[in-house]
Structure 1
Amino acid sequence: MTVNGGNAIVKTNDPAQTGAGKTTYRKSALAGQPLLGFETRYGEVQRKAAEVKAKRKTGGKDREAIDPDSDAARFRQEAIELRLAVRDRLENGYVLPFGQNIAGRWRRAFVEEGLRSEDNPILKLFVTLVPKGGRARASNDKATLDVQSRSKLLTLDYPYIELNKEFLGAIRIDCDGVFASPEALLLALEELVREGKIPCLPHIIVGDLFDNGTYHRPHFIFLLPPGTAVWKSDDKRCRRDIVRMFLGVSNGLIKALLPLGADPAAPATTMRMKNPLSPLWHTLTPNRHTMPTLSDYAQWVDTGASREALARQAAAVQSGMGLKASNVAFNTLRERGTALLIQWHFAADARMKGSRAALADHLHVALESYARTMELEDVRLSYVIGKVADRLAMDFDPSKLQGGKNRQRLLHVVEGMKSVRDRQRAGARFSQDIRRERSLEKLVAVYSAMLERSETLSPERLASRAGVSRSTAYRHFAACQQICASGCIDKKVGIAPCDDNPAPRQGETANGESAWGNTNLEALHGQEHGGCDSDAPEAEDDDFRLIEEQETWIAVQEGRISGRQMHPNVSDASDIIFDAHPHLAVTETADSAMLEKGRSLALA
């Protein structure tokens, strides 16, 4: 006999027994109730849910006890605390219980009820650009962003936030300006819109509103329409041309907003910005209706603007020094900053281990010290130093330290030139002037050294010692004589000053230049006599000679005679021009150069 399923049904298999092969029941009462009823899937779910609810009511006595030190217990407690924090934020608003130093300045305790995005469609669109909870990075300091909470609602209370970096749906423009009020800023932006500089107002303006009403360093955020975000990824399917257009539009907006203090040093694709949903900032949404696409922006702004040129123009605008003075200072400080980066990098300096913002601060301090040693203590220079430091720090790449190019260094020379040929010509002239200046400096240094050693002077010897061509030495030989004449006595060629402090003669400057140009110093000082002579011509003869030379010069200027008919002591205008060193401005003609060549050869 086999018993199936307990004590309910018994089946007899032994043929010797009575009723073999028939099924009998131990409990005869079950024979009349074979089917108890039906249960649907919905009923099954309800039954199981009721069982779970009954267990919860009994205090979970039927469940296995959880170790309070286990990860499961910790996760459970964190989830409870997060849910309570979200509920408290929704019910009581944002509460800063006591004064704290947040986002760069002291904030007093305050309370802001509700959510800023509740009735604002622009801010709701901004929320969709923030990654979900657990992936969104935020911080009280823009330099160090990290995941602060698994709740997106709580993350949106931090002053600095990072949007989705894979799908770029917003264009952020940093602004270094300080405005009298938010309303004054809006008026300035509306003026740019009326002038056609930008297609529309920014969709979001977020800045720091001080107690005195001034509005400091706002961010302008231009949102792209939903569904038109730019995909930026390492995937080979990603279209690089669209990403380049995004960067071009960002540069174009910066160029249009330069008068308001737009900062071109901030990277365009990091998506770090001041959080307009944070109660710590003052937020405006002046544009809720016009939302151009990336192609629309490209038709309004200059997408070919260069970041390097924009940084230099921003330095000129903010310093107020003018483009030429600012760009020259920018070149000098940039070269010094690059040298410092190379030195710090290869010396494993501790200043290289921090963030890019910290590196920019270190560069700013070092460049300020360098400017003081160079006697460049202009207060306006700090704006140029800031732009140089930010630009070098943000573009820092150790692999390119040795081969970096100083681009846009001639911006003040080619500004306003549209033709490539004109820009090339201007650059060639500038380079030629620089080479001429350096050649003259070399020749003057070698000439002075040869005078001190009482060596025989000639253009050939001068060219050999200075490492320049003979034609260059012939061209500048008279200039070297004139420059060194004021402090040296040339025993070989007989140039000597009459006294230590010679007084300028009538019609002559302190550098030996007449009012109409440089005269031949050898003739004026009397080369044949080897210095000052008591038998020199009388003052009347000198006056007649000077008057004759002046009349000859006037005749040349009026075109009555040619330059070749001038007095041999009056020379043509030179091609050597130094604005910063007027004492180097000398003149010579081809005839005087050949005369000097013959004289030097004869003396040699």
Structure 2
Amino acid sequence: MLADEREQKKRRKARKRAVMPDGLTEAEQRTWRLKEQLRFEDAKKFAENARFESGLVDERLREGFKLLFPRKICGRWREGVCEKGLRSVAFGLPGQMLVASTHKRGDLRVSWDKAALGVESRSKLLSLDLPYLEGNKTFLSFWRIDLDMSWSSIESFKDDIHQLVGCKIPFAPHLVAGDELRDGTFVRPHLYFFLPPGEAVWNDPEDPRCNMCTVKFFEGVYYGIVDALKSIKADPGAPATTQRGKNPLSPLLLGFTMNDREFMSMSRWAGWVDTSLNRDALVRHAAAENAGLDIKTSNQFFTAVQKQAYSLLRRWYYNSDLRLRARDQGGIADELHQALEPVAQEMSARMCSHISEHQVTLMVARVSSYAAGAFDPARLEKDIVRKALMHIVDGLTTVRERQQVAAEYASKEKAEKTLRRLVGAWDSLAVESLHVSKAALAREAKVSRPTVYARWAELQAVLEVRNGCKVRCIDKKLPTGTAMPGLKGTALQDRRPLGKLHGQSEHPMAQTRTMAEIQPFVTRKRETAFRISRDVLHETHPGAVGPAWCGAQWLDEEDDEDAMLIAMQESFPAEDYVAAAEWLCEDP
């Protein structure tokens, strides 16, 4: 009553003509008059709307609800719906608690369908006649459970619920809202379990005073109830704190109460249900059960398809695709299902051929529904797939064992990613030059040089398998077409560097020459030079060493910082140094 009186005072004040202030110029007076005229017209319009809504409220209380024109609700057309009285009064305490758990007038979001919720009326009484509503998400006072199942009659539904009471759940739901078809089938009801009066959970992440651990506990109880009701197909994909659902107070749906006396706090609910569950685990288990697969196969396939689903959603979002814009969750799930179906069928043929096409379709339907509801554009930078190891850690009881498995998995994933980066960097550098150094490879792959040395053998193995021949990159090689006196025709073909990074050479000179015969004489930052002993050249190729060769040395290698380390690790046949004409220079 006080709120209505304040509203009436505001309206009377808005309808009064204001007095123009003194000292205004002619232009300012004209502007003031226009603003005052607009304000007066707005106040008049708001007053007319208020009188009209007041008349609708009086008519609703006197004559009841009447659907004046046909509307499509829950997938079928309704017309001629009439109902006397208010369900909030007929349902007793649960009905009154549902009214109290929604926003005040002007903030209550309702809708004729589940997609686009909005403020339809400033009257809360008229808003609660619509078939879909949203509760107060700041103060969570109930759990809404969505059942993806149909019953032949309401009595069979109640029988199934009563069979679960006492073994899975402590009592029946307080309110139920669903759709009854003309043949009596009860389709996809929503169940409402209320917290005791005065025990709503404060949910405001932006307020530092709000204890989010209590909100997490609320979500844990929700998923525990969903798991307890999985035998009647409780939907695990629905968020815990959305507070959206079918309105049991609407005359357009079938609503009734099954419990108006028993209430239970969250701490007592924790003794009945498993509060350690979460949405990801329940969705994956439900997908495995629906498809009729074992948990390992189902979880691996679910993870692969889920990655593809999020990749598609990110692509649609950045491309402003019409399949993602201006669509509700159901529409996005349908578009995602159509796009994922051929990809998933191809993946099943590669991964596990024993999955049938029907099972793939069921898995894709579950993944599409889950991904469409969980997709958040604000978190696009975080490409995280949760519960990917659920089939591995399912039997582990301690946190240490789970962490060990997760660490091994993360290490393997990181190693494979690093190897892929090295192979990609090799391919990029090989296009520009025939000689690829380890330092350049590290810079191109954006990894450290120790990482390149550690993964060198694996990289060489991958390249050899792919190319079908042995790959060498760091060692200095003779340019094509260079010939030297006294050099055998097969010298370059038989070149076999030795050391930790290469296999044992079979070249005869490699068995007799050591690193002592290659004497380093200059070392400075980013520059390395080597002098070749004259004795080595005299012994291997008499006459090939003249005065111009006495001061032979390698030219400075500016791009390869690893030359000294390579020289210390590898021993080269003498023919290589004799043949390397372009890297030798005369004495000054």
Please report the TM-score for the alignment, with normalisation by the length of structure 2. Answer: 0.59
In the TM superposition, residue 126 of structure 1 has moved relative to its aligned partner by 1.0
Contact 1:356-1:394 at 8 Å conserved across structures? no
CA 1:187–1:75 in 2, change beyond 3 Å: closer, same or farther?
same
Instruction: Give me the whole-angstrom Cα distance separating, in 2, the residues matched to 1:148 and 1:98.
Output: 17
Q: Report whether the alignment pairs 1:390 with 2:369.
A: yes
> Which one is further off, 87-96 or 420-429?
420-429
Instruction: Give me the whole-angstrom Cα distance separating, in 2, the residues matched to 1:114 and 1:461.
Output: 81
2:217 alignment partner, one of 245, 254, 260? 245
Q: Report whether the alignment pairs 1:364 with 2:360.
A: no
Secondary structure (helix, strand or coil) at the match of 2:383 reads: coil
What is the letter of the counterpart of residue 404 of structure 1?
D
Q: How many equivalent pairs are there?
A: 382
Contact 2:178-2:186 at 8 Å conserved across structures? yes
Secondary structure (helix, strand or coil) at the match of 1:361 reads: helix
Contact 1:258-1:317 at 8 Å conserved across structures? no
Partner of 1:553: none
> Which one is further off, 171-180 or 376-385?
376-385
1:403-422 correspondence to structure 2 within 5 Å = 403-420=382-399
Contact 2:81-2:252 at 8 Å conserved across structures? no
Contact 1:199-1:300 at 8 Å conserved across structures? yes
In the TM superposition, residue 79 of structure 1 has moved relative to its aligned partner by 2.1
In the TM superposition, residue 183 of structure 1 has moved relative to its aligned partner by 2.3
1:144 alignment partner, one of 113, 116, 120? 116
> Which one is further off, 77-86 or 185-194?
185-194
2:175 alignment partner, one of 199, 204, 207? 204
Secondary structure (helix, strand or coil) at the match of 2:155 reads: helix
Secondary structure (helix, strand or coil) at the match of 1:352 reads: coil
What is the letter of the counterpart of residue 290 of structure 2?
Q
Instruction: Give me the whole-angstrom Cα distance separating, in 1, the residues matched to 2:209 and 2:228.
Output: 32
Instruction: Give me the whole-angstrom Cα distance separating, in 2, the residues matched to 1:166 and 1:104.
Output: 31
In the TM superposition, residue 362 of structure 1 has moved relative to its aligned partner by 2.3
Per-residue CA distance 1:543-573 (angstroms, 9 max, x = gap): xxxxxxxxxxxxxxxxxxxxxxxxxxxxxxx
Partner of 1:466: 462
Instruction: Give me the whole-angstrom Cα distance separating, in 2, the residues matched to 1:431 and 1:152.
Output: 53
In the TM superposition, residue 372 of structure 1 has moved relative to its aligned partner by 4.8
Partner of 2:575: none
Contact 2:146-2:190 at 8 Å conserved across structures? yes
Instruction: Give me the whole-angstrom Cα distance separating, in 1, the residues matched to 2:152 and 2:294.
Output: 24
Per-residue CA distance 1:281-310 (angstroms, 9 max, x = gap): 111311111100122112221111021111
What is the letter of the counterpart of residue 133 of structure 1?
R
Partner of 1:116: 87
What is the letter of the counterpart of residue 82 of structure 2?
V
Contact 1:67-1:73 at 8 Å conserved across structures? no
Q: Report whether the alignment pairs 1:126 with 2:122.
A: no
In the TM superposition, residue 322 of structure 1 has moved relative to its aligned partner by 4.1
Contact 2:310-2:375 at 8 Å conserved across structures? no
CA 1:461–1:85 in 2, change beyond 3 Å: closer, same or farther?
closer
Contact 1:171-1:221 at 8 Å conserved across structures? yes
Per-residue CA distance 1:112-139 (angstroms, 9 max, x = gap): 2221122322111211112122111100
1:380-459 correspondence to structure 2 within 5 Å = 380-398=359-377, 400-420=379-399
In the TM superposition, residue 190 of structure 1 has moved relative to its aligned partner by 2.3
> Which one is further off, 163-172 or 346-355?
346-355
What is the letter of the counterpart of residue 338 of structure 2?
V
Contact 1:178-1:214 at 8 Å conserved across structures? yes
Q: Report whether the alignment pairs 1:81 with 2:52.
A: yes
1:104-503 correspondence to structure 2 within 5 Å = 104-121=75-92, 122-195=94-167, 197-233=168-204, 234-355=206-327, 357=329, 358-372=331-345, 378-398=357-377, 400-420=379-399, 464-466=460-462
In the TM superposition, residue 155 of structure 1 has moved relative to its aligned partner by 0.4
Contact 1:338-1:392 at 8 Å conserved across structures? yes
1:436-585 correspondence to structure 2 within 5 Å = 464-466=460-462
What is the letter of the counterpart of residue 251 of structure 1?
Y
Per-residue CA distance 1:86-145 (angstroms, 9 max, x = gap): 122122222223432123322243222221122322111211112122111100111111
Instruction: Give me the whole-angstrom Cα distance separating, in 1, the residues matched to 2:40 and 2:326.
Output: 37
CA 1:98–1:76 in 2, change beyond 3 Å: closer, same or farther?
closer
Contact 1:371-1:377 at 8 Å conserved across structures? no
Contact 2:81-2:251 at 8 Å conserved across structures? no
Partner of 1:72: 43
Instruction: Give me the whole-angstrom Cα distance separating, in 2, the residues matched to 1:363 and 1:90.
Output: 45
Partner of 1:598: none
Contact 1:103-1:141 at 8 Å conserved across structures? yes
Per-residue CA distance 1:439-478 (angstroms, 9 max, x = gap): xxxxxxxxxxxxxxxxxxxxx9999442699xxxxxxxxx
Secondary structure (helix, strand or coil) at the match of 1:183 reads: helix
Q: Percent identity?
A: 39
> Which one is further off, 110-119 or 275-284?
110-119
What is the letter of the counterpart of residue 64 of structure 2?
G
What is the letter of the counterpart of residue 129 of structure 1?
S
- In the alignment, structure 1 segments of 5+ residues that lack a partner are 1-65, 439-459, 470-604
CA 1:193–1:423 in 2, change beyond 3 Å: closer, same or farther?
farther
What is the letter of the counterpart of residue 143 of structure 1?
A
Contact 2:344-2:364 at 8 Å conserved across structures? no
CA 1:140–1:466 in 2, change beyond 3 Å: closer, same or farther?
same
Contact 1:338-1:401 at 8 Å conserved across structures? no
Secondary structure (helix, strand or coil) at the match of 2:190 reads: strand
- In the alignment, structure 2 segments of 5+ residues that lack a partner are 1-36, 350-354, 418-455, 466-588
What is the letter of the counterpart of residue 385 of structure 2?
N
CA 1:155–1:398 in 2, change beyond 3 Å: closer, same or farther?
closer
In the TM superposition, residue 189 of structure 1 has moved relative to its aligned partner by 2.3
CA 1:226–1:354 in 2, change beyond 3 Å: closer, same or farther?
same
CA 1:179–1:381 in 2, change beyond 3 Å: closer, same or farther?
farther
> Which one is further off, 80-89 or 285-294?
80-89
Secondary structure (helix, strand or coil) at the match of 1:76 reads: helix
CA 1:171–1:412 in 2, change beyond 3 Å: closer, same or farther?
same
Partner of 1:36: none
Partner of 2:525: none
CA 1:427–1:214 in 2, change beyond 3 Å: closer, same or farther?
farther
Q: RMSD between aligned alpha carbons?
A: 3.4
What is the letter of the counterpart of residue 61 of structure 2?
L
Per-residue CA distance 1:384-412 (angstroms, 9 max, x = gap): 22321232223223454354232222333
Contact 1:261-1:318 at 8 Å conserved across structures? no
Partner of 1:94: 65
Per-residue CA distance 1:300-342 (angstroms, 9 max, x = gap): 2111102111111121233334434432331221121122123
Contact 1:104-1:141 at 8 Å conserved across structures? no
Instruction: Give me the whole-angstrom Cα distance separating, in 1, the residues matched to 2:412 and 2:99.
Output: 57
Secondary structure (helix, strand or coil) at the match of 2:77 reads: strand
In the TM superposition, residue 263 of structure 1 has moved relative to its aligned partner by 1.4
In the TM superposition, residue 162 of structure 1 has moved relative to its aligned partner by 0.9
Per-residue CA distance 1:492-539 (angstroms, 9 max, x = gap): xxxxxxxxxxxxxxxxxxxxxxxxxxxxxxxxxxxxxxxxxxxxxxxx
What is the letter of the counterpart of residue 169 of structure 1?
S
CA 1:304–1:370 in 2, change beyond 3 Å: closer, same or farther?
same
CA 1:282–1:417 in 2, change beyond 3 Å: closer, same or farther?
farther
In the TM superposition, residue 167 of structure 1 has moved relative to its aligned partner by 1.0
Instruction: Give me the whole-angstrom Cα distance separating, in 2, the residues matched to 1:338 and 1:325.
Output: 20
Instruction: Give me the whole-angstrom Cα distance separating, in 2, the residues matched to 1:116 and 1:417.
Output: 50
Please report the TM-score for the alignment, with normalisation by the length of structure 1. Answer: 0.57
Contact 2:292-2:359 at 8 Å conserved across structures? yes
After the TM superposition, which segments of 4 or more aligned residues of structure 1 sit over 4 Å from their partners?
A: 66-69, 372-377, 419-435, 460-463
Secondary structure (helix, strand or coil) at the match of 1:208 reads: strand
Instruction: Give me the whole-angstrom Cα distance separating, in 2, the residues matched to 1:89 and 1:279.
Output: 12
Instruction: Give me the whole-angstrom Cα distance separating, in 2, the residues matched to 1:71 and 1:431.
Output: 62
In the TM superposition, residue 379 of structure 1 has moved relative to its aligned partner by 2.8
